[in-house]
Chain A
Amino acid sequence: MHILLQLLLILFLAKVFGEVVERAGFPSILGEIAAGVSLGLFLIRPDNDALIFLSELGAIFLLFTAGYKEINLQELKASSKVAFVPTISQVLVAFGSGFLIGSIFEFQFMTCLFIGVTFSVTSIGVSVRTLIDLDYLSKKVGSTMLASAILDDLIGIFMLSVVVSIAADQQMPSGMHLLAIAARILCFIAVMVILGWKVFPVLFEYVHRMHVRESIFAFVIMTALFSAYLAEAFGLHAVIGAFIGGAALSSVPLAKIQEVQSKVDGISYGVFIPIFFAFIGLSVNSGSIAGAGILSVLVVVMALSGKLIGGFIGSKIVGFDSYDSLIFGVGVMPRAGVELVLLSIGRNMGIIDDQVFAAIVLMVAVSVLVTPVLLKFAIGFKERSEMLRE
């Protein structure tokens, strides 16, 4: 099939399925993945170079927009104070659960690490909706969950940087090796901080005076591509660079003009990101899910319970009661965007095989579907107990 027709079908089905799922109360990402799965069953194979490249751009833009639009350094400071302990706890237990599954199935060390990292990240969008519906977002546990989500993403990105670097060198990490990786990450962050602090503000002052059309928008996109490329030059993955590049631009007023943000959103969420999620669906081999059997079940159970138990323990440590700790643990269970980026990187590097890939995609879908139900149950449980006490 002609690549143009493939793109047309992917975008069309991703948007239509995304809309249906969104109206049913779930994130459109599920519809976009489902669009890819359906197209993969009948029409399109995920082996077209152009399609692979566009999906890689989708991953880059997903992380870039996260850094560019959602990072607020002041909020980050506040979040760190409130949510540090619960976040570390849920990330560690979830990582441990993932690593344990890999060990049980006797996967290679790198595969175990990657499964652990994909288990660690949270996308709480679906929980936030439920909290809003139940008027629970403004409660302390709701705001802690929000704070935890942003920290959680940062920790996930950091873990990915380390794991990708270890995987690229294809050897068991020694102490020196880990130090070298840490130095590379710190050097890259330092370069981006200097660019964001000193260079980008001046650069955009000139760019906004250019006469050619869409100069600011073009330079924002160039920053995404440059930071992704620079990260690769430092031995990190392009998506990590895109995220940090986005964050470096997040405090440059001329780069954050509302209209420019809308255009970046347009090209990201209108084109590249749906292609990325649909490509994830295309890459799921339906036979692999069935073949994975017990692995799929364990991945789903351990990934969800890892977050639940870790979140519960962490919240108890900082003084939440058992009911709120349960709500927190359930609220941090869903996975979506960043996890799938990590997963696709693992697959591209040959670390994650078809069965693990399919099992984790299934886990993402299950986590998004069951979390609202469990969250309503946990909040109802708390409210019933409060009524009984009164």
Chain B
Amino acid sequence: MVVDYTKVSVAEIMTRDVVTVTEDTTIDDILDLFGRHHYHSYPVVTDAGELVGTISEDIVLEILLFKQIPASRQTHLSVVRSLGDDARGIMMPYPVTVSVDASLSETADLMLKHHVYRVSVVDCGKLVGILSKRDIVKEICKRRD
């Protein structure tokens, strides 16, 4: 049977139990998270659960190796981030999101077109889940079986 992935919503397959950080989480705690889990990035949420940014491995590497980065890549914002001491100070604001009723195929298209590995799923601005390329591949394999 051919599955129509435009009819499969991200809500059906996303991970709902998301590891998040709040805006006040300290850098040490964030580094600890990267050590404990295998995720490439973590969503940053407010106390009310609204998604305000993400912290990726790229940001953490940039901060840890800041002095070794060639000066031409030390932009104003990256310098400001290197001085941050909590999630608010180092996160990338305005993350790419998909709505909870987006389809699997359009989300996969977004990921493929722009080399995005994980997207946050939001409902009225609040984080409700995460979807990674691996989740999509797993789901497609499962449905083929």
> Which of B71, B77, B83, B97 neighbours the largest number of chain A CB atoms within 10 Å of its CB?
B71
Contact (Cβ within 8 A) A257 B96:
yes
Identify B75's interface contact among A27, A70, A138, A142, CB under 8 A: A70
**In the bound complex, what is the Cα–Cα distance between A70 and B75 (angstroms)?**
8
Return the CB mask of A66-86 against B: 1 if under 8 Å, else 0: 000110101100000000000
Return the CB mask of B61-96 against A: 1 if under 8 Å, else 0: 000001100111011110110110000000001111
**In the bound complex, what is the Cα–Cα distance between A129 and B79 (angstroms)?**
10
Interface flag for A235 (CB, 8 Å): no
Return the CB mask of B96-107 against A: 1 if under 8 Å, else 0: 110000000010
B7 CB to nearest A CB, Å: 17
Interface flag for A22 (CB, 8 Å): yes
Number of B residues contacting the other chain (C-beta, 8 Å)?
A: 25
Contact (Cβ within 8 A) B76 A132:
no
Interface flag for A253 (CB, 8 Å): yes
Interface flag for A260 (CB, 8 Å): yes
Contact (Cβ within 8 A) B83 A137:
yes
Known pairs A253-B94, A256-B94; A129 contacts B71 (CB<8 A): yes
**In the bound complex, what is the Cα–Cα distance between A150 and B76 (angstroms)?**
8
Contact (Cβ within 8 A) A129 B74:
yes
Contacts between the two chains (Cβ within 8 Å), count: 65
**In the bound complex, what is the Cα–Cα distance between A149 and B126 (angstroms)?**
34
Kindly list 15 other residue pairs between chains A and B, CB separation below 8 angstroms, not including A22-B70, A146-B79, A253-B96.
A25-B71, A27-B72, A69-B77, A70-B77, A72-B77, A72-B80, A75-B77, A75-B80, A132-B74, A132-B79, A137-B83, A149-B76, A208-B113, A258-B116, A259-B115
**In the bound complex, what is the Cα–Cα distance between A75 and B81 (angstroms)?**
10
Interface flag for B114 (CB, 8 Å): yes
Return the CB mask of A133-168 against B: 1 if under 8 Å, else 0: 000011000110010011000000000000000000
Number of A residues contacting the other chain (C-beta, 8 Å)?
A: 33
List residues of chain A with CB within 8 A of the CB of B58. 258
**In the bound complex, what is the Cα–Cα distance between A137 and B79 (angstroms)?**
9
Contact (Cβ within 8 A) B110 A138:
no
Which A residues are closer than 8 A to B by beta carbons? 22, 25, 27-28, 69-70, 72, 74-75, 125, 128-129, 132, 137-138, 142-143, 146, 149-150, 208-209, 216, 250-254, 256-260
Nearest 10 CB-CB pairs, A to B? A253-B94, A257-B114, A70-B76, A259-B114, A253-B96, A129-B71, A259-B115, A251-B94, A128-B79, A70-B77
The secondary structure that dominates the A interface is helix
Contact (Cβ within 8 A) A260 B83:
no
List residues of chain A with CB within 8 A of the CB of B72. 22, 27-28
Contact (Cβ within 8 A) B116 A252:
no
A337 CB to nearest B CB, Å: 11
Contact (Cβ within 8 A) A146 B66:
no
**In the bound complex, what is the Cα–Cα distance between A27 and B95 (angstroms)?**
31
List residues of chain B with CB within 8 A of the CB of A252. 94
**In the bound complex, what is the Cα–Cα distance between A75 and B76 (angstroms)?**
11
Identify B106's interface contact among A72, A209, A254, A260, CB under 8 A: A209
> In chain B, what residue has the closest Cβ to A256?
B94
**In the bound complex, what is the Cα–Cα distance between A69 and B113 (angstroms)?**
21
Contact (Cβ within 8 A) B95 A125:
no
**In the bound complex, what is the Cα–Cα distance between A260 and B94 (angstroms)?**
14
Contact (Cβ within 8 A) B114 A260:
yes
> In chain A, what residue has the closest Cβ to B56?
A258
**In the bound complex, what is the Cα–Cα distance between A253 and B99 (angstroms)?**
13
Contact (Cβ within 8 A) A253 B97:
yes
B109 CB to nearest A CB, Å: 8
